[in-house]
Amino acid sequence: MFQRIMDGIRTSTGSTMRLTSLALAAAIALFVTTSFLCAAAFMAVLRAYGPVEACLAGAGVFFLLTLVAAISYFAYKKDVENRAARAAKAAGQSMLADPMLIATGLQIVRAIGVKRLVPILAIGGLALGILASRAGAAEDASAEAAE
């Protein structure tokens, strides 16, 4: 189980580093390209319409580029959050189907006894329900604060 957690951390760290380096390379190339294209467009608009119109045209183009970048960032972030939620749900289900965990549970039941285990499970279930309700409330509060 610990190895699975470490593999998940290693995988997410590796993919984050790859995405960051690709984004940095793309940003540098885009900056150089945009610089030359903007200079050419600015000169063309400057000759045809004048300096004020050339500056306004450049500002409009950059505003549109900023909007496109922000929309794609938020769409990507939402996609990553959805994938992480599905992976967490699958990991939780797979832990319950782990034969080692089931064998350990059976050994605990044999050692403690069924009559003593029922009250312990009832108290544990109550505590788990309280923790789950607090976790849901904390997630709701963090989601509201993020908006």
Asked if 42 and 58 count as a contact pair (C-beta separation under 8 A), the reply is yes
Asked if 87 and 79 count as a contact pair (C-beta separation under 8 A), the reply is no
Please tell me whether residues 80 and 25 are part of one structural domain: yes
- To the nearest whole number, what is the mean pLDDT of the chain? 81
Average pLDDT for residues 81-93, to the nearest whole number?
A: 78
Indicate whether 133 pLDDT > 60.
yes
Please tell me whether residues 28 and 74 are part of one structural domain: yes
Indicate whether 4 pLDDT > 80.
no
Please tell me whether residues 83 and 114 are part of one structural domain: no
Print burial letters for 14-48: b (CB count within 10 Å at least 16), e (below 16): eeeeeeeeeeeeeeeeeeeeeeeeeeeebeebbee
Please tell me whether residues 116 and 51 are part of one structural domain: no
Please tell me whether residues 106 and 45 are part of one structural domain: no
- Domain span holding position 63: 1-97
Burial class of residue 117 (count of CB atoms within 10 Å of its CB; 0-12, 13-18, 19+): middle
Q: If DSSP states are collapsed to H, E and C, what string results for 18-35?
A: HHHHHHHHHHHHHHHHHH
Task: Check residue 123 and give its pLDDT.
Answer: 87
Task: Check residue 2 and give its pLDDT.
Answer: 67
Largest CA-CA distance found in the chain, in angstroms, rounded: 91
3-state secondary structure of 89: helix
Average pLDDT for residues 40-52, to the nearest whole number?
A: 92
